[in-house]
């Protein structure tokens, strides 16, 4: 065991089991203690229970890192049934520490990782701030200055995190038990299984450096988006060095006026959602900790460990299915799903159920009117999409989303969740029509991007 990051399957599984049991016991104890209390006392107890539950999740999942911590980051953007509605914002803010202020590993341990990859710090860096500016599921990020004067961000893997993730992959059943204890409407480990399957990509820093360099080149000079470039000569298996992007974090963005949040929301939508249908690739980790507002007003995006490319055939399948749903062609949608093996024709699912399901999970792309995205609205879509059995779509219990679509659907749903945290409003369908039907832009941002693209094509 290295610096408090448990690696073994038994050690990590045991901690997950104790956490799940603690959550269940706390829920029962709180419910019993409510009996006979005054309304004010109930509110106090509910707040205390929410904070205790969130603190335990932050402490245990934060110290475990890897896929376990990824679960906590996921939960931070959802409206959880675990806590009373009046305290969900408080609970979510506490869990957001896993996104923005996760428990840090001491620098002495992280320095050894850096020097194993790059050699002595002084050979590469003129200055190196030993206090991390971010701590996430795979590593910590530091601010430094290269010997040539460039300000950089240095992402360093936690010691032993590769083994920790390996253990989490073998502990899916235990992780699924924890998910059920805090999100009762989840019926199985589908969401966690997807996270664990793809989190291995985050361990490959050399691949991430190449990806980030390519994406940064694509967005260089973009009027609304900035992606810091990787500095590949200083990237190794456990260290990733990129340009430093100074900007306002997500909490600061949430405090901005409505019009500014709406502007940011459209940019976020275009970067995370539209890119799949225009470039056949997308970033699969659209959580708030990966977004920054630069002084220029552009929105910066970081962390490309879960960047994914999708075969054009599969993208076109998704586009065609959404078109059919948008136009109310239930039979066409049903036929496509049966043909792809998503729906068993003997399961008793009707075309109308398929249509209603798509509208419940993805209707924000399809409804031609302004939609104010709230945490409650976004969470409802996520839960309906990942577990139709818990809602009115019981006939869809045999639905089987093909593996090549799981990753893109997660990106779509959690973009929606992030926009819910931002509380942003737009006619998302007007933006979507660009990639849904190939129509010209209908917004000022879209028109400005089109003009920028035309200059690059010359």
Determine the 3-state secondary structure of 77 from DSSP: coil
CA dist 377 and 259 (Å) reads 20
Mean of pLDDT values over 308-331: 94
Terminal-to-terminal C-alpha distance of the chain: 56
- Choice between 217 and 377, residue whose per-residue pLDDT is larger: 217
**For residue 103, is pLDDT > 60?**
no
**For residue 36, is pLDDT > 80?**
no
**For residue 211, is pLDDT > 80?**
yes
**For residue 4, is pLDDT > 70?**
no
CA dist 77 and 92 (Å) reads 7
Task: Look up residue 391 and give its two tokens.
Answer: 């809602």
- Residue 47's pLDDT is what? 44
Chain segment 163-197, per-residue pLDDT in tens: 766 665 565 555 555 555 444 334 344 545 555 55
Residue in 160, 174, 171, 189 with CA at minimum distance from that of residue 19 = 174
Mean of pLDDT values over 65-73: 50
Which residues are CB-contacts of 257 (< 8 A; sequence separation ≥ 6)? none
Residue in 138, 142, 139 with CA at minimum distance from that of residue 124 = 142
Chain segment 189-210, per-residue pLDDT in tens: 454 555 555 666 678 899 999 9
Mean of pLDDT values over 226-235: 96
- Residue 361's pLDDT is what? 81
Residue in 267, 242, 243 with CA at minimum distance from that of residue 253 = 267
Task: Look up residue 199 and give its two tokens.
Answer: 């989190």
DSSP secondary structure code for residue 272 in this structure: I
Return residue ranges of the chain for CATH 3.30.200.20: 106-157+204-244
- What does pTM read for this prediction? 0.74
Which residues are CB-contacts of 420 (< 8 A; sequence separation ≥ 6)? 77, 373, 374, 375, 376, 377, 378, 379
For the chain, give the percent of residues with pLDDT over 70.
63
- Residue 286's pLDDT is what? 87
- Residue 234's pLDDT is what? 95
The correct answer on CATH 3.30.379.10 for the domain covering 106-157+204-244 is no
- Choice between 345 and 121, residue whose per-residue pLDDT is larger: 121
- Vertex 118 angle, CA 115 and 119, to 5°: 55
Mean of pLDDT values over 149-167: 85
How many DSSP H helices and E strands does the chain contain?
21, 13
């Amino acid at each position: 065991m290295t610096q408090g990051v448990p690696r073994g399957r038994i050690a990590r599984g045991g901690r997950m089991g104790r956490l799940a049991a603690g959550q269940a016991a706390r829920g029962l104890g709180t419910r019993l203690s409510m009996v006979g209390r005054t309304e004010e006392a109930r509110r106090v107890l509910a707040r205390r229970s929410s904070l205790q539950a969130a603190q335990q999740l932050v402490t245990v999942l934060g110290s475990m890192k890897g896929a376990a911590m990824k679960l906590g980051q996921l939960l931070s953007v959802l409206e959880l049934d675990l806590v009373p509605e009046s305290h969900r914002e408080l609970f979510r803010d506490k869990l957001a520490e896993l996104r923005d202020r996760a428990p840090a590993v001491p620098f002495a341990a992280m320095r050894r990782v850096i020097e194993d990859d790059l050699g002595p710090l002084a050979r590469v860096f003129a200055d190196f701030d030993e206090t991390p500016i971010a701590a996430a599921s795979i590593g910590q990020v530091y601010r430094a200055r290269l010997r040539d004067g460039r300000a950089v961000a240095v992402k360093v893997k936690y010691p032993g995190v590769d083994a920790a993730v390996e253990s989490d992959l073998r502990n899916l059943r235990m992780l699924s038990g924890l998910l059920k204890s805090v999100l009762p409407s989840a019926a199985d480990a589908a969401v966690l299984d997807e996270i664990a399957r793809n989190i291995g990509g985050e361990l490959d820093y050399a691949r991430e450096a190449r990806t980030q360099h390519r994406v940064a080149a694509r967005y260089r000079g973009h009027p609304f988006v900035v992606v810091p470039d990787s500095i590949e000569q200083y990237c190794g298996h456990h260290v990733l060095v990129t340009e430093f992007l100074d900007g306002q974090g997500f909490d600061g963005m949430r405090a901005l006026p409505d019009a500014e949040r709406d502007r940011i929301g459209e940019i976020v939508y275009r970067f995370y959602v539209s890119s799949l249908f225009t470039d056949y690739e997308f970033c699969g980790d659209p959580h708030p900790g990966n977004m920054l507002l630069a002084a220029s007003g552009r929105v910066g995006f970081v962390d490309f460990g879960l960047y994914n490319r999708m075969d054009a055939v599969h993208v076109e399948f998704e586009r065609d299915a959404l078109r059919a749903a948008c136009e109310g062609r239930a039979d066409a949608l049903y036929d496509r799903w049966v043909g792809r093996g998503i729906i068993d024709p003997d399961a008793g699912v009707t075309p109308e159920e398929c249509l209603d399901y798509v509208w419940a999970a993805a209707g924000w792309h399809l409804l031609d009117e302004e939609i104010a995205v709230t945490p409650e609205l976004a969470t409802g879509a996520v839960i309906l999409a990942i577990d139709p059995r818990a809602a009115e779509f019981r006939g869809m219990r045999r639905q089987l989303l093909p593996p090549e679509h799981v990753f893109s659907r997660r990106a779509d749903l959690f973009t929606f969740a992030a926009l819910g945290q931002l509380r942003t409003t737009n006619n998302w369908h007007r933006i979507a029509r660009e990639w849904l039907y190939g129509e010209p832009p209908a917004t000022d941002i879209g028109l400005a991007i089109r003009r920028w693209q035309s200059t690059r094509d010359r």
